[in-house]
Amino acid sequence: MPPLNFPLARLADEVARLRASTPLVHILTNEVVQEISANVLLAAGAAPAMIVAEAEVADFAAMAGAVLINVGTLYPARYAAMRAAVLAANAAGVPWVLDPVAVGVLAYRREACRELLQLRPAAIRGNASEILTLAGMGSGGRGVDSTDAAEQALPAAMALARQTGAVVAVTGAVDYITDGEQAWATPWGDALMTRVVGTGCALSALVAAFCAGAPNRLDAVAAACAMAGLAGEQAMAASQGPGSFKAAWLDALYQLAPTHLTGQSA
């Protein structure tokens, strides 16, 4: 049977935990999406920082609550900084998240992501084609876009989770989140989210924020997906197109409160 929907009562608990701790999230991300990623974290209740110099990343990663590694605009100097940040995070016990952007279509980033997988991410967030590639079950995609459906990649996500020890989120019309044994579905969101650059990358930043100090990492990653999707539905109702959607999404993330979620049905 398909995974159950993530309970909104658990989302309420996770949102309350996030906002009580205001985690510092160290973002090494796609240069195209830095602004929206930072604003999504601020709206949700976390604190973003974007330290990118190789000389500084190790010190900062060790003091952060979580680290995001997004390979969207990857080049040798950035990859060296990413590896340094990951090694420092691992040494300090700081969880880090991998977003393997376009890993299925470009060999350089595919090899980089395979090396990063050996460094044990706490979570991986990608579209179906990206997760299939990382699991060794495909090599598709069209640029940064998936050519596969999320539900088709759930077995690959479960296999990848067992292989790496990470919680894996495969996102699409419905998101599936798994630790290799259990899985949640988050069926919320709107297609307009795909017309705003950076919503997926910003979701990965949100995944990192929820992973900081998480007592249950599976619930934490599912909560990030659920929060982004529910806010997306609210934003769609208040917008006329991609431009107004972006502002409305940030507002909805900011306004989403645990008290609004408690008692709602999933």
SS (H, E, C) 216-264: CHHHHHHHHHHHHHHHHHHHHHCCCCHHHHHHHHHHHHHHCCHHHHCCC
**236 marked as binding residue:** no
**195 marked as binding residue:** no
Pairwise CA distance, residues 50 & 258, whole Å: 28
Q: What ranges in 73-153 are assigned the alpha helix state H?
A: 76-92, 107-117, 128-134
Could you tell me if 126 and 87 are in contact, meaning their C-beta atoms sit under 8 angstroms apart? no
Q: Is 1 helix (H, G, I), strand (E, B) or coil?
A: coil
User: Among positive and negative, which fits the CA dihedral 233, 239, 241, 244?
Assistant: negative
> Tell me, what DSSP letter sits at residue 194?
G
**63 marked as binding residue:** no
Token pair, residue 8, equals 């909104």
SS (H, E, C) 18-81: HHHHCCEEEEECCCCCHHHHHHHHHHHCCEEECCCCHHHHHHHHHHCCEEEEECCCCCHHHHHH
**120 marked as binding residue:** no
Instruction: Find where tokens 């598709």 sit.
Output: 140
Q: β-strands 175-178, 183-186: how paired? A: antiparallel
Binding site as annotated, residues: 50, 125, 171, 198
Binding site as annotated, residues for substrate: 50, 198
Binding site as annotated, residues for ATP: 125, 171
